[in-house]
A and B are shown apart, each in its own frame.
Chain A
């Protein structure tokens, strides 16, 4: 079974500081995508950042960056200069094929609170 582990159920950070959310996953595939999604109280899923597994370079998107360690199957998200609007649930999700079927499986999430 493919698993996604987010070991931090809740985290908090002061505004303008940096926080890192961890994620590990398990897949036997070699080519896949990795996503971090944000879910605010509205429950709309918002893409934060995407990483293609065949690319060694870590993805960055403004204040958001990842530390992708393929061999270790680790995909952490770093949020720099945290803002109050970053408060939300954050989910890590690998997107891969398994047995001819595609899957996008989510971790249990990390509830991030940015304090003023």
Chain B
């Protein structure tokens, strides 16, 4: 089946630095990319939805200036956590898909730890 490659799978950074997480669709064109945050033993919380070539739509309560999402091509979407703080430590997951076909594929997730 189709694959979404997400990396890094884990990253540790110092408080105040920025971290970029990439999601690449390897064998399909992801017209839509969803970005989620997942706390331990909790569900996936939708952060934002991005469509190729346009600005992301952020969910209520998600700071767009802190979580920068870029979806410049049909095969690459990035999430940049700017000026990271310990409370940003979490598991981040992307999902790429095509609304027309209803097909969705998930990345492996990225565990971010901010010291």
Question: Which residue of B45, B46, B104, B109 is within 8 Å of A35 (Cβ)?
Answer: B104
CA distance A50 to B105 in the complex (A): 12
User: Which chain B residues lie closer than 8 Å to A78 at the CB level?
Assistant: none
With A33-B102, A43-B109, A44-B109 as contacts: A102 and B32 at CB distance below 8 Å: yes
B46 touches A105 (CB 8 A): yes
Q: How far is the CB of A116 from chain B (nearest CB, A)?
A: 24
User: Which chain B residues lie closer than 8 Å to A35 at the CB level?
Assistant: 104
CA distance A107 to B44 in the complex (A): 8
A11 within 8 Å of B (CB atoms): no
If over half of B's interface residues share one DSSP class (helix, strand or loop), that class is named, otherwise mixed; here it is: strand
CA distance A103 to B104 in the complex (A): 12
Interface residues on chain B, size class = 20 to 34
B28 within 8 Å of A (CB atoms): no
Type the 1/0 row for A22-33, where 1 means its CB is closer than 8 Å to any CB of B: 000000000001
User: Which chain B residues lie closer than 8 Å to A91 at the CB level?
Assistant: 43-44
User: Which chain A residues lie closer than 8 Å to B38 at the CB level?
Assistant: 43
| A50 nearest in chain B by CB position | B102
Residues 13 to 69 of chain B near chain A (Cβ within 8 Å): 32, 34, 36, 38, 42-46, 49, 51, 57
Q: How far is the CB of A60 from chain B (nearest CB, A)?
A: 17
B106 touches A44 (CB 8 A): yes
| B1 nearest in chain A by CB position | A47
| A45 nearest in chain B by CB position | B106
Q: How far is the CB of B50 from chain A (nearest CB, A)?
A: 10
Residues 73 to 115 of chain B near chain A (Cβ within 8 Å): 91, 93, 95, 97, 99, 102, 104, 106, 108-109
B109 touches A103 (CB 8 A): no
Closest 4 A/B residue pairs (Cβ): A45-B106, A33-B102, A101-B57, A106-B44
- Can you report 9 residue pairs joining A to B where beta carbons are below 8 Å apart? A45-B93, A45-B95, A95-B99, A97-B99, A101-B49, A102-B34, A103-B46, A104-B34, A107-B43
Interface residues of A (CB under 8 A from B): 33, 35, 43-45, 47, 50, 52, 91, 95, 97, 101-109
Q: A44-B106, A95-B99, A106-B36 are in contact. List 4 more A-B contacts (CB 8 A).
A: A44-B108, A102-B32, A103-B34, A104-B97
